Amino acid sequence: MAHFARLENNIVVDVHVVDNVNLLDENGIEQEQKGIDYLKSLWGDHTFLQCSYNSTIRKRYPGIGYSYDAVNDLFIAPQPYPSWVLNDNFDWEAPVAMPDLSVLGEREAYNWNEEIVNWELVKLPF
């Protein structure tokens, strides 16, 4: 199965699954454009881009709300917190590195706290 994101203003609004047979050209080779043409025949004149469930196409599998960077031909997840920045690998990065996880107790974890712009130790309820 192939996956295609439908975009509006370079924002993913949904993702469609297409049987690979609908991507095959006359030589039996998969072509992205064939999948796009197939989806347009069903949904009309929208912008569709192939994506990959295992993140081998366009960096990552997008969800609703992801943006498409046409210059770098990849999908970017929504910014998780206002203080986080997009790094050179197009991943969101906290302004403070996560503390060492090896020192955590059995029922402890770190959560990002945007109010203090830092990681916060929390006790897990289970």
Query: Residue 41 in 3-state DSSP?
Result: helix
> What per-residue confidence (pLDDT) applies to 125?
87
Task: pLDDT band for 105, please (50, 70, 90 cuts).
Answer: confident
Q: Cα 17 from chain centroid?
A: 16
Which residues lie below 8 Å from residue 79, measured CB to CB, with a gap of 6+? 86, 92
CA geometry: angle 54, 61, 101, nearest 5 deg: 80
For tokens 């197009």, the residue is 90
Mean per-residue pLDDT, 11-20: 97
Q: What is the pLDDT of residues 23-76, one digit of tens each?
A: 999 999 999 999 999 999 999 999 999 999 898 999 999 999 999 999 999 999
Q: Is the pTM of this model over 0.75?
A: yes
Instruction: Please determine, for residue 118, whether its predicted confidence score (pLDDT) is greater than 80.
Output: yes
